[in-house]
Amino acid sequence: MNSKQHWENIYNTKKIDGVSWYQEVPADSLKLIQKVSKNNYDKIIDIGCGKGFLADNLVQLGYSNISLLDISKNALDEVKARLGINNISYIDSSVLDFKSNEKFNIWHDRAVFHFLTDHHDKKLYKKIVCDSITNNGYLIIAAFSEDGPLKCSGLEITRYSLDELKEFYKDDFEFVEGYKTIHKTPFETDQSFNFCVFKKTT
């Protein structure tokens, strides 16, 4: 099963709150986006949005320039049906295949980057991020921390300390802030994440 088939299967067979990353209100992501956002017209892209509620919450806050990227068309179709508005761009793609002439003020990734276990894929991801963010734009990224889970949805992941995330992105981004937080899953288990905010400097 390839990566797209894997995620289409996940979203075809799991209820919306039947996945560990479910959050009705993604508080950490919203807090950090609002911290770095200049205005409600900022171009924001959510990488690996799944069927998540980040876009719903951003719309409620008045943001009007939102792009959602996911490898699962099933997930994107459900979000589109749920929101029922036209000012969101839906991108059916793997992040590693993503190409756009548009530049984003804020790139948000909660738990996609940590699925990349190959060094070449990680470097490609960083290049895509750099190419896609405006000068002085922001990267908000969350990955399983050094004491977080070893797998997610049956797939191997890469865990990161705050120092490892800072080291990986230091050549192209200025570290703004970072912290560890515990996500309580719908199954009453704990997942340890590191959230980081970086500002593009190149």
Per-residue pLDDT tens digits of the chain, which is 202 residues long = 468 876 677 667 766 665 655 678 899 999 999 999 999 999 999 999 999 999 999 999 999 999 999 999 999 999 999 998 778 999 999 999 999 999 999 999 998 999 999 999 999 999 999 999 999 999 999 999 999 777 777 778 899 999 999 999 999 999 999 999 997 876 677 889 999 999 998 7
b/e code 80-112 from CB counts within 10 Å (16+ = b):
eeebeeeebebbeeebbebeeeeebbbbbbbbb
Task: Identify the CATH number of the domain in which residue 100 sits.
Answer: 3.40.50.150
Q: What is the pLDDT of residues 98-141, one digit of tens each?
A: 999 999 999 999 989 999 999 999 999 999 999 999 999 999 99
Whole-angstrom distance, CA of residue 91 vs CA of residue 98: 9
Q: What 3-state DSSP class applies to 3? A: helix
Q: Which residue segment(s) compose the domain that 190 sits in?
A: 3-10+25-200
DSSP strands (E only) in 10-56: 44-47
In a domain, 17, yes or no: no
Residue reference for tokens 């049906």:
81
In a domain, 122, yes or no: yes
Look up residue 35 and give its two tokens: 């911290």
- How many contiguous H segments (helices) and E segments (strands) does the chain have? 6, 9
Which among 102, 98, 125, 105 is positioned nearest to 113, based on CA atoms?
125
Q: Is residue 133 part of a domain?
A: yes
Domain assignment present for 127: yes
Domain count of the fold of the chain:
1
Does residue 18 sit within a domain? no
Which tokens belong to 200? 């593009």
Instruction: Judge whether 96 and 125 are in contact, CB under 8 Å.
Output: yes
Residue 16, domain member (yes or no): no
Whether 119 is in a domain gets the answer yes
Domain assignment present for residue 19? The answer is no
